[in-house]
Chains A and B, each alone.
Chain A
Amino acid sequence: MARRVLDTNILINHWRRTFGGVIGNQISERQAVQCARQLIDEQRSSAILSPIYIEYLCGPQSAREVRNARAYLEEFEVLDEGRVLPQDWGESKRIAARILRDRAPRQMGDCLIRAICNRLNLDVYTADIQFPPP
């Protein structure tokens, strides 16, 4: 059992803190790997889920950035092993249909992450206060 899943925003916030205003194309794969290892050490967890992997991969704006993102993500353990089950989609639909207190729209990735966490009995460390309620 992993202690906690790191949400996409935790990965992105750490990346931004590490590289600040450095242009993505000036960052090497080695630096990207080092950045991931630093976060894993800091958080004492390397656990992510496949929707988190994909969400992170949606950010890069060049082929170089995609390579860096892949190198970065390879350091993490995808706990669901890419297996998103029909029950996860069903649970996601249920979560997506819940209206938030501030009526903000729900994000598909968050709903899916939450559904997988529910199935695998995992806790998720997220900076997102909008993380969808049950």
Chain B
Amino acid sequence: MRTITFYRQKRIDGGIRTGVEVGGNTVLSTFESGGGKHDPALLWYVDVLCEGRRLPKDSEEARDWLSLQKKNVRRLLDALAKKVVAGVDAGDWPVHQQGTFHGVKMRVSCSAVRRLEARKLTGILGDIAEHWEEYVGSLAAV
């Protein structure tokens, strides 16, 4: 089974790392520096894991394929946001939402370490859904 994973995660220093893994290897990535004092501890992360037999293996094909998944990803991110709004106990992170679309299993996961950030997560999930193509399109090849 092939896998493609999109991830976006924010650090305490404000840095945001976004990337795409194909088969467990990062092939596309960007790091936006937060400008704060260097601190690698994460505040939150969001993963979109896709599993299927016919997923692309090439990085640019994976980028194109991911861009086309906008509607499906949004559906899962919206459902996940509802779960987060309903409340998540500290020990229950990460929370997941999954679905299958045309034979591809997708699982969206998110986690936040600090309670304050958990409250902001719904906005973060909405932001990823809103800017999905932009985030996927702007990643640099590794």
Contacts and interface: CB of A to CB of B under 8 A. Distances in A.
B39 A126 contact: no
A28 interface: no
Interface residues of B, number: 29
Nearest to B15: A123
B86 interface: no
Interface in A81-134: 114, 117-118, 121-127, 129, 131, 133-134
B41 A131 contact: yes
B36 to A, nearest CB: 9
A4 B42 contact: yes
Contacts of B113: 125-127, 129
Contacts of B114: 129
B42 A126 contact: yes
Interface stretch (B3-11, B66-74, B125-133): B3-11
Nearest to B39: A134
B26 interface: yes
Question: Size range of the interface on A?
Answer: 20 to 34
A17 B109 contact: no
Scoring B19, B91, B114 by chain A CB atoms within 10 A of each residue's CB, the highest score goes to B91
Given A17-B91, A133-B37, A3 B111 contact: no
Interface in B103-142: 109, 111, 113-114, 142
Interface of B: 5, 7, 9, 11-13, 15, 17, 19, 21, 26, 29, 31, 37-42, 45, 47, 49, 91, 94, 109, 111, 113-114, 142
